[in-house]
Amino acid sequence: MAGGEWVYLNGDIIPAQEARISIYDHGFLYGDGVFEGIRSYNGRVFKLDEHLDRLYKSAKAIKLDIGMTREEMARAVTATVAANRLDDAYIRLVVSRGPGDLGLDPLKCPKPTVLIIAAALQLYPEEVYEKGMRLASVPVRRPAPDALNPNMKTLNYLTSILAKVEANQRGLPEVVLLNSQGYVTEGTGDNLFIVVDGGLVTAPPWVGILTGITRKTVMELAREQNIPVREDVFTLFDLYNADECFLTGTAAEVVPAVEVDGRPIGSGRPGPITQRLREAFHAYARRTGTPVYSSETRSS
C-alpha cells in the first residue's frame, strides 16, 4: 500500500509526515473509536453514503460524538482523495475518542480525533484473483453478538489480528473463522459466500458477522442476474462440499477461494458464478459513486 502524501486530521489537510496524534488518545490506548475502509474508483467514492451511515451508527452505538455533520465528513473524504490526486484509492476514515487521561472514562476525552488517509492499494496480487486463494479454518472464534455486536466497526480488531497470525503461520493469505456454535462466519476482514446448486449462501448477521457493504452489493448484483441468494447458517462440512467459494470486502473486492483445509472447493479453480459476479462488481463500481473532482479541480 503506497501511502498518500496528504492526510486529513481534525479539520485540516496536512502532509502525512507532519500528522501527530496524542499518546493519550484513547483510540491508541484502548481501541476506543470507529472506522471505515472505503474505495474510490475512476474518480468516484464508492458507496460513500452507505459507509458514512455505518460510521455514524457505530459511533452512536459506542456513544461517540463525531462532532461533524455527515455532509462535512463527505466533503472531507473527497477533499483528501483530491489532495492526493488519486482516481483509484483506498480510504481509511478513523474517528477515535480523542485525547484523555490514562483511565478508561470516555468523559475525560472532550474532543474526538478525526483522521482520513487516502492511498493506492492492491490487497492481493492479480494471480490470487485469477487462480483463487487457499484458506484454512482456525481455532480463533468470532465473539457472540450479545457480547460484542460485530456491526459496531470499532478500532478493536484483536480477534481478526489473532486469526491473521494463524494465517501467517500457515503461509496463507486468509483464514475462516467460526463462531462458538461451529457455524462459519467470515474471514479476518472479509465476508464469505459459498455457491450451492447455482445459488449463493452467506452467513446471517446473527452468527457474528459484519454485514459488509461489498457483501450487500454482491447480493444485489446476483439477484439482478437471477442468481438465488439466501442468508443461512452453514458449517465447514458445507464449505468443503460447496461448488464455489469467494470472499468479499472493500479492500479485497470479490476474490475466489479454491481450497479450504487442504480440500479443493468444486473444481479447485475459480467458478463461473464467482467470475460473473466479480466482473459485474467491477463494472458497477467504476460507473457509480460520489464524484471526487469537479471539472474545475480536474483541470487545475
Burial class (CB in 10 A: 0-12, 13-18, 19+), 121: middle
Instruction: Tell me whether residue 60 is one of the annotated catalytic residues.
Output: no
Distance CA 275, CA 293 (A): 31
Spatial contact of 260 and 240, defined as CB atoms under 8 Å apart? yes
Which of 57, 153, 164, 216 is flagged as catalytic? 153
DSSP-H helix ranges across the chain? 26-30, 48-61, 70-83, 126-131, 158-170, 213-224, 236-240, 272-287, 295-299
Look at residues 257, 256, 258, 248 and name the one whose alpha carbon lies nearest to residue 285: 248
Residue tagged 483511565 (cell numbers) = 103
Cell of 255: 476474490
Active site residues: 153
